[in-house]
Amino acid sequence: NAGVTQTPKFQVLKTGQSMTLQCAQDMNHNSMYWYRQDPGMGLRLIYYSASEGTTDKGEVPNGYNVSRLNKREFSLRLESAAPSQTSVYFCASSEALLSNQPQHFGDGTRLSIL
Amino acid sequence: GIQVEQSPPDLILQEGANSTLRCNFSDSVNNLQWFHQNPWGQLINLFYIPSGTKQNGRLSATTVATERYSLLYISSSQTTDSGVYFCAVVGGSQGNLIFGKGTKLSVKP
């Protein structure tokens, strides 16, 4: 049982380049989330998808776009990477938005923007 | 929005010692989770505990929802317990977890 799988695990980009972070879950969860973690801090929500076909902004959405490709997959795109987006990115999923069930996290993607 | 405060921010223990980590939150919640972030950066689910008490081996947790706090107990600590412990709650309409800043635990051999 893989749970939440993120790819890639590490990536280095130059300022202005674009890339997409991939996330897939195999738990048949309805809701998925993208968070970022900066040094010495907890995680902050970038975007979320309550269910297939819907996406909404979180606390720090600027500079990012998302796609809920199907029930399993939720991708995060940086169109024009900036050094301020250097961070560790975590994808998570849960049975449903506001459900009384835990969120499950992937192992993270370490992204450096030079 | 809801605020989550964890204490202490840093903790150094000798192997074999016990410890208690605290999480206070500013409003009612319907989800509370404790995580361990290991030195490799992975977030490990420890407990889902919006109320009550749970135990898993040397770790246990108690949440008193009416008083808006949760405690994580680590007994007979081991060097592999080192890392950062996060408390996170769901209290808003977006359903996302709101994280505290964490307690950094170092267990010395």
Burial call A45-73: b when 16+ CB within 10 Å, e when fewer: bbbbbbeeeebeebbbbeebebebeebbb
Query: Out of B43, B95, B96, whose CB is closest to A105?
Result: B43
Interface test with A, best of B37, B45, B96, B97 (most A CBs within 10 A): B96
In this prediction, residue A97 has a pLDDT band, given cuts at 50, 70 and 90, of: confident
- Tens of pLDDT along B56-94? 999 999 999 999 999 999 999 999 999 999 999 987 676
Q: Is A22 exposed, middle or buried (0-12, 13-18, 19+ CB in 10 A)?
A: middle
CA geometry: angle A98, A67, B90, nearest 5 deg: 20
Residue A57 has a pLDDT of: 94
In angstroms, rounded to a whole number, what is the distance separating the alpha carbons of residues A70 and A81?
Answer: 25
Query: Out of A40, A41, A103, whose CB is closest to B97?
Result: A103
Residue A1 has a pLDDT of: 62
Higher confidence at residue A78 or residue B1? Answer: A78
Residue A108 has a pLDDT of: 95
**In the 8-state DSSP scheme, what is residue B80?**
G
Residues 9-68 of A with CB under 8 A from B: 31, 33, 35, 40-45, 48, 50, 56, 58-59
Residue A71 pLDDT exceeds 70: yes
Question: pLDDT averaged over chain A?
Answer: 93
Residue B30 has a pLDDT of: 81
In this prediction, residue A16 has a pLDDT band, given cuts at 50, 70 and 90, of: very high
Residue B107 pLDDT exceeds 80: yes
Q: What is the mean pLDDT of residues A39-52?
A: 90
